[in-house]
Amino acid sequence: MATIRDVARLAGVSVATVSRVINKIGNVNSETAHQVLKAIEQLQYEPNSVARGLAGKKTGTIALILPDILNPFFPALARAVEDVAHQEGLTVIFGNSDGLGLKERSYIKTLKKKYVDGIIIASNTVNPEDIEHLRKDQVPIVLLDRGLDIPTCPIIRSQNREGAKLAVKHLLSRGCRKIAHIYGPQEMITARERLLGYEDVVEGLDWYSPSLAVPGNFDIEGGRKAIKLLLERQPDIDGVFAGNDLMAIGALKGLHDLGIPVPERIKVCGFDGISLAEITEPELTTIAQPIYEMGALAAKILIREINTGISENTIMKLDVTLIPRKSTWKEGIDVDEA
């Protein structure tokens, strides 16, 4: 592989000049520039990113740390981040943290040593001090989806609480008179907000009781168990709002096991809008987050900070939308009223 020196020699200029033309900075006589370009072409020269990283402190690499790419919510995020990065000529390092603070911190340490230009992470353990350290080392970071409200760092989420309200109101408008909620792990702010949203609308209603909310661990199995528990405690529920689609799918499964017809006897609404929701039977009504957009936005904000050095430490909550499907269907309603 040719080096910058080879190019300089062939073009009859110094390496500094070559560096100037490949980086398009400083002034270079267009004649000389042309010579250099010719030499580059001739030698098939490609600047070495590692050397560049060492000399210039910019590696053209960002990192994306997610809890688990196997969770169907995350691939869309990953795709979005990678798309935007690739478009900007950046490369992305990817890691699974399993939601473990230990692993997250270990990744972050490694990434610093690699001089990554920035980090996007979906984590609920990252705290203000971590951010502080990163900031001191000049490593921009943006929080995605999960993540506390840290005022010193940009964070992208969606309207979880509002979305939850939307879900419950939808169920209400479809005739439900006793709506349960299956919630996710309360250490996740997303799960907490959705529970709050549920409470916001049901708390005033006469049928409401705290025992209508049960945990489901954000996974299919959890949803399945939750619905069974729920039915034991409150056999007359006619609507279920699950804190995410996975649990909603579990609930659907559980109801199917029990021979309870959906949506006739019980209506179910999920949250997230992952593609799985379209393949269940009945298809799942859900509150869709703009998952891809969230990832893309995170990447854009990160890249902007990398390029300008200034960070907009703001928390952005993207809009969610109700996607009515079979699982909340009701006779005589063709168009959604929400």
Partner DNA sequence: CTGAAAGCGCTAACAT
Partner DNA sequence: ATGTTAGCGCTTTCAG
| Residues found near its own copies in the complex (CB under 8 A) | 1, 46-51, 53-54, 59-61, 64, 68-70, 72, 74-76, 78-79, 82-83, 86, 91-96, 109-115, 137, 220, 249, 253, 256, 276, 279-281
> C-beta of 22: minimal distance to its own copies in Å?
12
Q: Which of DNA, its own copies, none is residue 56 near (CB under 5 to 8 Å by kind)?
A: DNA
Sign of CA dihedral 320, 326, 331, 334: positive
Q: Which span (4-12, 68-76, 299-307, 321-329) binds DNA, by CB under 7 A?
A: 4-12
Decide whether 3 or 234 has the Cβ nearer to DNA. Answer: 3
> C-beta of 236: minimal distance to its own copies in Å?
25
> C-beta of 200: minimal distance to its own copies in Å?
30
> C-beta of 19: minimal distance to its own copies in Å?
15
Helix (H, G, I), strand (E, B) or coil at 120: strand
Q: Which of its own copies, DNA, none is residue 14 near (CB under 5 to 8 Å by kind)?
A: DNA
Decide whether 19 or 158 has the Cβ nearer to DNA. Answer: 19
Give yes or no for a cis peptide into 67 (omega within 30° of 0): no
> C-beta of 298: minimal distance to its own copies in Å?
16
Decide whether 27 or 44 has the Cβ nearer to its own copies. Answer: 44
What is d(CA 253, CA 310) in angstroms, rounded to the nearest whole number?
48
What is d(CA 211, CA 68) in angstroms, rounded to the nearest whole number?
31
Asked if 56 touches DNA (CB under 7 A), the answer is yes
DSSP 11: H
Q: Which of 55, 102, 258, 338 binds DNA (CB under 7 A)?
A: 55
Strands of the 267-272 sheet, one edge to the other: 213-215, 179-183, 239-242, 267-272, 285-288, 321-323
Nearest to 65 by CA among 57, 74, 56: 74
CB 32 within 8 A of CB 61: no
- The number of angstroms, rounded, from the C-alpha of 134 to the middle of its chain's C-alpha atoms is 21
Q: Which of its own copies, DNA, none is residue 23 near (CB under 5 to 8 Å by kind)?
A: DNA
Nearest to 160 by CA among 150, 147, 172, 141: 147
Decide whether 19 or 160 has the Cβ nearer to DNA. Answer: 19
> C-beta of 114: minimal distance to its own copies in Å?
5
H helices then E strands: how many in the chain?
A: 12, 12
Residue type, 61: T
Sign of CA dihedral 95, 101, 102, 108: positive
Asked if 297 touches DNA (CB under 7 A), the answer is no
Decide whether 55 or 205 has the Cβ nearer to DNA. Answer: 55
Place of tokens 């954000």: 218
Site for DNA, residues 15 to 54, rule: CB under 7 A: 15-17, 19-20, 22-23, 25-29, 31-33, 45, 47-48, 51-52, 54
> C-beta of 66: minimal distance to DNA in Å?
29
Asked if 186 touches DNA (CB under 7 A), the answer is no
Q: Which of DNA, its own copies, none is residue 128 near (CB under 5 to 8 Å by kind)?
A: none
What is d(CA 236, CA 231) in angstroms, rounded to the nearest whole number?
7
Query: String of b and e for 176-201 (b: at least 16 CB within 10 Å)?
Result: bebbbbbbbbeebbbbbbbbebbbeb
> Residue numbers of the site for DNA (CB under 7 A)?
1, 3-5, 12-17, 19-20, 22-23, 25-29, 31-33, 45, 47-48, 51-52, 54-56
